Amino acid sequence: MTVISMNSVHTPVAPQDGAQPMVSFRDVHKSFGALEVLKGIDLDVMPGQVAALIGRSGSGKSTALRCINGLEKINGGELTVCGRNLRARDFELRELRKEVGIVFQSYNLFPHLTVEQNVTLAPRKVNGLDAAESRALAAEVLEQVGLSDKALSYPEQLSGGQQQRVAIARSLAMRPKLMLFDEVTSALDPELTGEVLRVIGKLAAGGMTMVLVTHEMAFARQVADLVVYMHQGRVWEAGKGTMLDDPQTVELRQFVGSGL
Amino acid sequence: MLGVSIDQYGFLVQGAFWTIVLSLMGFVGGTIVGLPVALARISRGWFLCRVSSAYVQFVQGIPLPVIMFVVYFGVSIYGFDVNALVAAAIAMTLYSSAYLGEIWKGCIQAVPKTQWEAGECLALTSVQRFIYVILPQALRIAVPPTVGFLVQIVKNTSYSVVIGFFDLTYSAKILNNATFKPFVIFTAAALIYFAICFPLSRYARRFELRLHRRNA
Ligand SMILES: Nc1ncnc2c1ncn2[C@@H]1O[C@H](COP(=O)(O)OP(=O)(O)OP(=O)(O)O)[C@@H](O)[C@H]1O
Ligand SMILES: [Mg+2]
């Protein structure tokens, strides 16, 4: 397990009275054909909170995450993200996508564009930034992920860790209210995971609302205000990071014990 | 030279000029029609997909000389007097658009699905995703097979001899009738075809190798 030292310490944000959740699952169901993958998920993520989804392979973590930005359509229940009900008649998927960033395990950078062009494509085409504005924006977000000197490189010239940080910068350039991360360090060599986790940790410290799927237990414990253990398509146990030290269920105890 | 005069070789070169003209017309026409065909083939619209697929199968199921005949004689039935160049260009356009459409459809599909998804998650519209994310990558993939198909176009223009279009093959045929030196003349014609096609296939091959090295 990677141990990371962070420059900034994240102070957990307690849900404020009256604040609307940024993400709210209510009895959410999702099936692929006959296979029911989410069997009634309930989950609230408040503004500024960091939620970490953990659990065994196939438990539905990625599916839950992909539902949040509409990559998967839910079959039952209610899902509200950034105040938008995803099943409402007047729901606008593109409007939601402007507010929710997502980073995948496999970076998915645009190989034919430079780092700077990767970062500024959506701000220019979607938000209408001009050349000068988008250049300044690229400089800002690349600085945030520590890659100021790579603006003119192509993705293939970068290490996996650097590519993943560019992917994060590309999302940040849309100024999202919510960031989703799906096992963003799983494809990386162990010595490269630290640099990516540090960037995410810094975002958390800066108050970004995040939902992340991770296998990095130490990291989840450290940055997450809410750890969510998923098992067989359900939220099996949820609580603060300390929950991992004192599991209430047999399944979580086994999961923690297995060292995953 | 070998019983054939310089002027007579010049006649072959004239034919070669028209072979190149017809090839270019076939390629440009094939691009103009083939690109929409490729887009229709990958579209989610049921109707577009069916129609374009039927078009491709129909054209691919007919030998090119027959297409030439149909265009040349078919059109004149309706009172239009088409000259051989126009008929041959239309026939080459039909032929190459069907094949280029299929080739490009494959190139667009060769761009990983995750690239569409990445664009979607950044709130790009589907047109923006296609233009800025997918198309540039598909174009690079498309260069070798497209240049390779250009070779097919050049060679297949020779079928226009069936409707009497004056190209390299036709000029060789006339010259042979005048000189009775078939071996010399058709060998010369063959060498000219080769001289046009070889650089193209060389280029396609080199580009392909470069792509492979980049992706390795
Ligand atoms: N597009 C799909 N079509 C059909 N089945 C799917 C699809 N996506 C996921 N599944 C199935 O849904 C179940 C949950 O998958 P999911 O990817 O959400 O799990 P996960 O918890 O993220 O696992 P992992 O840790 O391996 O990433 C699995 O059984 C998977 O095979
Ligand atoms: Mg997953």
What percent of chain B has a predicted confidence (pLDDT) above 90?
75
What mean pLDDT comes out for the span A205-225? 92
On chain B, the residues whose CB falls within 8 A of the CB of A171 are 122
Q: What are the pLDDT digits (tens) for B125-164?
A: 999 999 999 999 999 899 999 999 999 999 999 999 999 9
For A181-223, the DSSP string reads: EESTTTTS-HHHHHHHHHHHHHHHHTT-EEEEE-S-HHHHHHH
What mean pLDDT comes out for the span B76-98? 86
Our CA-based measurement puts residue A51 at a distance from the nearest CA of chain B, in whole angstroms, of 20
* pTM of the predicted model as reported, rounded to 2 decimal places: 0.85
Q: What are the pLDDT digits (tens) for A53-72?
A: 999 999 999 999 999 999 99
Atom 6 in ligand 1: residue holding the nearest Cα: A32
Residues with CB under 5 A from ligand 2 (ion): A 62
Residue-level pLDDT at B54? 96
Least confident residue range of A47-56, A75-84, A169-178, B75-84: B75-84
Residue-level pLDDT at B52? 95
Q: What is the mean pLDDT of chain A?
A: 90
What mean pLDDT comes out for the span A36-54? 95
* Ligand 1, CB within 6 Å, residue ranges: A 32, 35, 37, 55, 57-63
Residue-level pLDDT at B6? 85
What is the third-level CATH fold of B6-209?
MetI-like fold (1.10.3720)
Residue-level pLDDT at A175? 96
pLDDT bucket at A2, cuts 50 / 70 / 90: very low
Residue-level pLDDT at B29? 97
pLDDT bucket at A6, cuts 50 / 70 / 90: very low
Residue A134 amino acid letter: S
For A92-125, the DSSP string reads: -HHHHHHHEEEE-TT----TTS-HHHHHHHHHHH
Q: What are the pLDDT digits (tens) for A185-194?
A: 988 888 889 9
Tell me, in angstroms, the distance from the centre of ligand 2 to residue A46's CA: 23
A104/B140 CB distance under 8 A: no
Residue-level pLDDT at A259? 61
Residue A150 has pLDDT above 70, yes or no: yes
Find the CB nearest A108 among B117, B124, B136: B117
d(CA B80, CA B75): 6
Q: What is the mean pLDDT of chain B?
A: 91
Q: What are the pLDDT digits (tens) for A85-138?
A: 999 888 999 999 999 999 999 999 999 999 999 999 999 999 999 999 999 999
Q: What are the pLDDT digits (tens) for A69-89?
A: 999 999 999 999 999 999 988
Given a contact cutoff of 8 angstroms between Cβ atoms, the answer to whether B123 and A122 are in contact is yes
Given a contact cutoff of 8 angstroms between Cβ atoms, the answer to whether A235 and A61 are in contact is no
What atom of ligand 1 comes closest to residue A65's alpha carbon?
18
Find the CB nearest A94 among B123, B133, B137: B123
- Closest residue in chain B to residue A171, using alpha carbons only: B122
Which of A29, A36, A37, A72 gets mutated to test ligand 1 (max ligand atoms within 8 A of its CB)? A37
- Closest residue in chain B to residue A100, using alpha carbons only: B121
Is A126 in CB contact (< 8 Å) with chain B?
yes
Stretch 15-74 of chain A: residues touching chain B, C-beta under 8 Å: 69, 71
CA-based nearest residue to B210, from B147, B116, B155, B151: B147
Strand pairing category for A50-55 and A209-213: parallel
pLDDT bucket at A4, cuts 50 / 70 / 90: very low
d(CA B194, CA A133): 53
Preferred mutation among A125, A168, A181 to probe B, highest tally of B CBs within 10 A = A125
Atom 2 in ligand 1: residue holding the nearest Cα: A32
Residue B170 has pLDDT above 80, yes or no: yes
For the sheet with A234-239, list strands across it.
A100-103, A178-182, A209-213, A50-55, A226-231, A234-239
Residue-level pLDDT at B26? 96
Our CA-based measurement puts residue B212 at a distance from the nearest CA of chain A, in whole angstroms, of 14
Domain ranges of chain B: 6-209
